[in-house]
Structure 1
Amino acid sequence: MRSALLFLFTLLILFSSDLKPQSDTTSISLLPNKLSILEKALWGERGLFRITGLAPLTPQAREKELKLRRTMLSIHQLGGFTTLGLMLVSAYYGKKVFDGDYSAVNKHRSLVRVTIASYTLTALLALTSPPPLVRREKGEGSLSLHKTLAWIHGAGMIATAVLGRQVRESKTIDDYNRLKKIHMGVAITTFTALASAMIVITIR
């Protein structure tokens, strides 16, 4: 009797230990080793889409996710060029205001709002897209540069908007002239960073 119980206990241990590696292997093969904070929150093993059942972590679901990722990143790229065009037109009217043509103020402000909305939606497409199947440790050169430039034009978009408000709310002529020069300089830097980011990711 004791031998039978010992045999059954041994089988139970072997069976349970055989199941665990399979589960871990499946998880590792379906998701990359490293996930960003947002990717983990949305697409991780215990992410929002997993626990709600909207995107179960299965090979079939991951195959659909990778197709969705390609679509979202393609739209992200198109959105980048759209935002770049909007920034260019916005800068045109901004330069008019800078040169003293205040009749262009409303057009400039409206275009800035549309540009910010386009930029935000474009960024969200990349940030919320499903993770790849495999993520390289160091990443590709052009992709790494694209992400670095994203930090620059992201900070630039925020700084440009804040400076634009400060220009409007400036109390003296000296403050107005000083701030509008800084505002234009930051806007040019932001545009250059975004344009460079689009170029490096397109020609890779």
Structure 2
Amino acid sequence: MAQTPATDTTSRNAPAASDTLPATADESANALLEGLADANETPSLLPQKMIFTQRAFWGPKGLLRVTNMAPLSSAGRAKELKIRRTMLVAHQIGGFVTLAGFVAQGLLGAKLYNAKGQEYADTKVWHERMASYINVSYGTTLALSLTAPPPVVGAKRGLSWIRVHKYLAVVHLAGMVATNVLAQKIQTDSSLKPVHRAAAYTTFGAYAASIVALTF
């Protein structure tokens, strides 16, 4: 019986070395490029949206960054978040202290409108002292909020109690400016007293509402 010569399947089934090398090279190149891309990508350490005062101090090119007082790094951001928490707690405490001053000033203002003679002079002195106290307390409380380091992420979209608190802050800030300006003008124009009183009550109402908003 004639023997059939053994068929060499190696050359027929196995791909040529020249066919495998390009694919392997392409995969290696892609893997290398992906590895370099991953190495160069760093997570964002700052939110995209910040208020102008936060950006001025804590932004990528903020004052504390360019002076190297607070270099932007993961470890640095962790410390900044602790600072932020401390400043916002102080901001809340200052809010209640200022609110107490508003209440006392409202009582003094009501007494001042009806006082006469020496009682009027004495009450006016205390009214002016309380106004100075409120201005300092209010300004300090506001500065703590505006200059605190930014959070990890930006504010969420949509209405929230924090957003309501910020909207009301715009109202009572404008009211504070108006109240102080009118307080100076009524020294020469007593007809502005009702306007001054309305501005003061509006400021107090917006400020009290902003405090209440933080409790939700």
SS at the partner of 1:169? coil
Shift of 1:198: 0.3
2:90 matched to 1:75?
yes
Corresponding residue for residue 166 of structure 2: 147
Q: How much is the aligned-residue C-alpha RMSD, in angstroms?
A: 2.1
Shift of 1:88: 1.1
Shift of 1:169: 2.0
In 2, the alpha carbon distance for the partners of 1:43 and 1:198 equals 26
Aligned amino acid, residue 150 of structure 2: P
Residues 1:63 and 1:139: Cα distance change in structure 2 (over 3 Å): farther
Shift of 1:19: 8.0
Corresponding residue for residue 56 of structure 1: 71
2:212 matched to 1:187?
no
SS at the partner of 1:136? coil
SS at the partner of 2:186? helix
- TM-score by length of structure 1 reads 0.83
In 1, the alpha carbon distance for the partners of 2:188 and 2:48 equals 48
What aligned pairs does 1:20-169 form with structure 2 within 5 A after superposition?
21-22=40-41, 25-26=42-43, 28=44, 30-101=45-116, 102-103=120-121, 104-138=123-157, 141-169=160-188
Corresponding residue for residue 210 of structure 2: 197
Shift of 1:168: 1.1
In 1, the alpha carbon distance for the partners of 2:91 and 2:155 equals 21
Q: Deviations over 1:25-59 (max 9, x none)?
A: 33x2x101112221111001111111111111111
Aligned amino acid, residue 187 of structure 1: A
In 2, the alpha carbon distance for the partners of 1:118 and 1:199 equals 18
Segments of 4+ in structure 1 off by > 4 A?
none
Number of corresponding residues? 182
In 2, the alpha carbon distance for the partners of 1:75 and 1:59 equals 25
In 2, the alpha carbon distance for the partners of 1:130 and 1:62 equals 9
Aligned amino acid, residue 76 of structure 2: A
In 2, the alpha carbon distance for the partners of 1:122 and 1:113 equals 14
The sequence identity of aligned pairs, in percent, is: 39
- Structure with higher helix content: 1
Structure 2 gaps of 5+ residues are 1-28
In 2, the alpha carbon distance for the partners of 1:64 and 1:140 equals 29
